[in-house]
């Protein structure tokens, strides 16, 4: 709402899904406000659709047919009796046309004026407002550059270009991804500042002229330009630089008569601040600011939309907060998104967990693979970081492969604990952070838990000498073989004392140290504390072989493009892009593993593929 009239919001439709929809609903319920969800066919059983007071179906599964259809969402709001719309983040949250459609329908828009969205959602226009000169035609001297979606956010539609010859192809890829995600394929190019710090300022503005600058946040740990770990306040900034950032953020807000919650983002490099963009919405990482300032930003969004005034000054900051985004993805395998049943998701007490998933939900291919955000708040940065790392390590996350181990190792990395990180953190340390480091006793614990379960059903010990029992497991790309015995006194293993073993808990003593392992099995998938194992057959399946040079789908998804002129029999070069898969709103490039001849191709655009599906075969040159 942009005027100064007071209104009362009774029912809010959240034009979004997943975690942010659930988060807005939580505040609405606490405020006595009824809630309405919208859901796609893929989200029919999603948590956000289940917890709302009412839910309206958007037919289809693709974002372009559902969560990007502003006309359908406005109709849903009217049909469900909503009097206000909250856009969340992503999708239509920075779409001025949608904001106008909401207000034109007589509904209250819980966000900034459409004119402010237009001015700032266009990244090029935002830079002009703050006096930042746009980059002209790109030359060799400008490299590296960043291709960026004009209406984008969350790392979608972004490409770093280091060679001028790659620019056209990356522009095409960025436009396609931006159009798929935001419904707007326009992009622009700006200088790419490497190894700076990504720092942002949360702003909050009412309709009475008050603008709050709520501290700073550091979001430097990113993969594919999408944030992974965020914290507030940004560590190590001088008082002078912090004041400069606040001044620029408030100036940006006032330049467009901004109201509501927003974020102004900067890159800190060489001791100076470089304006990046203003996000005219609530950010994913807003909980760290809430924790430090003791605020509910969604509640304040609602109050501002009703016409209430903010206080003259914001509350004082207290302590430090750190947030980690838990994704269903494999960082060691090109950050490939993962799918499957989420059997269990719990964290220790004292940690805030914002999620749109619950036990038993299926993680599909259509949307962002973020499962949850875990937030720790403590009096000091060191305490908050330690608390979050420990909680994630002890969390029960049973189901698809996740980035949990990466998060724990990142939080404990010396470069992060000493606050010397920058946006190149994962470029430098990814291999070390994703290297296999399984618990050496986890496979044995899994085998003993399985043996105890089988013994309970069929009996285990036999009054005859026998060879050791053998079990094989895979974890983190490695295979482990364990041996144990059934004896008159129970299960035994060489070099380890088996104190207790049942299907869910195993107690082992090694070198005088006793440890307890919690075990959960879901078919051939076994979770032993934080270690994820796959039970392997005793003898490998001789039919599970592929021709050398086979390119298999690393994830379920849709073939969206095939390289021009690519047919069987052509020669391809090592690293040459052959085709593109779209999964969870991002494009993933499949490249030739070696220089050779393309002898098979089964990847026409539009084909839906599962993990491991054969896409192509490249026979390497004999030389």
Cα–Cα distance, 448 to 443 (Å, whole number): 9
Residue with tokens 């060191």: 382
Cα–Cα distance, 308 to 11 (Å, whole number): 18
Sheet holding 608-609, edge to edge: 586-591, 577-583, 557-562, 608-609
Measuring CA to CA, which residue among 432, 526, 542 is closest to residue 482? 526
Is 34 in the active site? no
Give 295-312 as a DSSP string: --HHHHHHHHHTTPPPPS
Query: Could you tell me if 142 and 162 are in contact, meaning their C-beta atoms sit under 8 angstroms apart?
Result: no
Query: Could you tell me if 196 and 423 are in contact, meaning their C-beta atoms sit under 8 angstroms apart?
Result: yes
Measuring CA to CA, which residue among 358, 347, 473 is closest to residue 404? 347
Say which residues have a Cβ less than 8 Å from residue 429's Cβ, sequence separation at least 6.
413, 415
Strand partners, 596: 572, 620
* Residue 30 burial class via C-beta count within 10 angstroms: exposed 0-12, middle 13-18, buried 19 and up: exposed
Query: Could you tell me if 150 and 187 are in contact, meaning their C-beta atoms sit under 8 angstroms apart?
Result: yes
Q: Is 257 left (phi over 0), alpha (psi -120 to 50) or beta?
A: left
Residue with tokens 């990466």: 406
Cα–Cα distance, 94 to 91 (Å, whole number): 8
The answer to whether the Cα torsion of 288, 332, 181, 576 is positive or negative is: positive
Cα–Cα distance, 132 to 124 (Å, whole number): 9
First to last CA, the chain: 68
Q: Give me the catalytic one of 69, 281, 387, 404.
A: 281
Cα–Cα distance, 223 to 621 (Å, whole number): 34
Query: Could you tell me if 620 and 557 are in contact, meaning their C-beta atoms sit under 8 angstroms apart?
Result: no
Cα–Cα distance, 550 to 599 (Å, whole number): 10
At residue 272, the 3 state secondary structure works out as strand
Q: What is the dihedral of CA 229, 233, 239, 242, to 10 degrees?
A: 70
Catalytic residues: 281
């Amino acid at each position: 709402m942009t005027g100064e009239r007071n209104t009362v919001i009774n029912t809010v439709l959240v034009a979004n899904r997943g975690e942010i929809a659930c988060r807005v609903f939580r505040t609405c319920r606490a405020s006595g406000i009824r809630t309405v969800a919208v859901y796609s066919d893929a989200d029919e059983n999603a948590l956000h659709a289940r917890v709302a007071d009412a839910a309206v179906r958007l037919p289809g599964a693709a974002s372009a047919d559902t969560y990007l259809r502003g006309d359908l969402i406005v109709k849903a709001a009217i049909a469900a009796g909503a009097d206000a719309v909250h856009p969340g983040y992503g999708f239509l949250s920075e779409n001025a046309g949608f904001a106008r459609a909401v207000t034109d329908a007589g509904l209250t828009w819980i966000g900034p004026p459409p004119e402010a969205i237009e001015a700032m959602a266009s990244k090029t226009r935002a830079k002009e407002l703050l006096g930042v000169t746009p980059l002209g035609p790109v030359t060799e001297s400008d490299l590296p550059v960043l291709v960026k979606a004009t209406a984008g956010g969350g790392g979608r539609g972004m490409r770093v270009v280091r060679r001028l010859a790659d620019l056209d192809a990356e522009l095409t890829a960025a436009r396609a991804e931006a159009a798929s995600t935001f419904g707007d394929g326009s992009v622009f190019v700006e200088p790419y500042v490497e190894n700076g710090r990504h720092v942002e300022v949360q702003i909050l503005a009412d309709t009475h002229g008050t603008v709050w600058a709520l501290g700073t946040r550091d979001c430097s740990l990113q993969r594919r330009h999408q944030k992974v770990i965020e914290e507030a306040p940004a560590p190590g900034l001088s008082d002078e630089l912090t004041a400069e950032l606040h001044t620029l953020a408030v100036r940006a807000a006032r330049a467009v008569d901004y109201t509501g919650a927003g974020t102004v983002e900067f890159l800190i490099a060489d001791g100076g601040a470089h304006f990046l963009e203003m996000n005219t919405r609530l950010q994913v990482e807003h909980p760290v600011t809430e924790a430090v300032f003791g605020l509910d930003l969604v509640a304040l969004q609602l109050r501002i939309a009703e016409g209430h005034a903010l206080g003259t000054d914001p509350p004082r900051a207290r302590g430090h907060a750190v947030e980690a985004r838990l994704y269903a993805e494999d960082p060691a395998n090109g950050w490939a998104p993962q799918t499957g049943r989420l059997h269990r998701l719990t964290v220790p007490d004292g940690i805030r967990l914002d999620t749109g998933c619950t036990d038993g939900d299926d993680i599909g291919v259509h949307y962002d693979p973020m499962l949850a955000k875990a937030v720790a708040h403590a009096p000091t940065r060191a305490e908050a970081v330690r608390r979050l790392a420990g909680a994630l390590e002890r969390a029960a996350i049973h189901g698809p492969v996740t980035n949990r181990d990466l998060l724990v190792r990142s939080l404990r990395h010396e470069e992060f604990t000493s606050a010397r990180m920058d946006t190149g953190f994962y470029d430098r340390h990814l291999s070390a952070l994703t290297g296999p480091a399984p618990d050496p006793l986890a496979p044995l614990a899994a085998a003993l838990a399985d043996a105890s379960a089988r013994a309970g059903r069929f009996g285990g010990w036999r009054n005859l000498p026998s060879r050791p029992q053998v079990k094989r497991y895979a974890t983190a790309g490695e295979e482990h073989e364990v041996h144990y015995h059934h004896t008159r006194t129970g299960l035994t293993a060489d070099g380890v004392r088996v104190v207790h073993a049942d299907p869910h808990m195993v107690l082992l003593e090694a070198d005088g140290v006793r440890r307890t392992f919690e075990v959960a099995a879901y078919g051939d998938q076994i979770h032993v504390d934080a270690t994820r194992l796959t039970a392997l057959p005793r003898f490998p399946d001789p039919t599970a072989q592929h021709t050398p040079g086979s390119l298999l789908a690393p994830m379920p998804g849709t073939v969206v493009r095939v390289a021009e002129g690519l047919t069987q029999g052509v020669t391809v070069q090592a690293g040459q892009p052959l085709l593109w898969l779209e999964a969870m709103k991002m494009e993933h490039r499949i490249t030739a593993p070696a220089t050779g001849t393309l002898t098979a191709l089964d990847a026409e655009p539009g084909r839906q593929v599962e993990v491991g599906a054969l896409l192509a075969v490249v026979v390497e040159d004999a030389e």
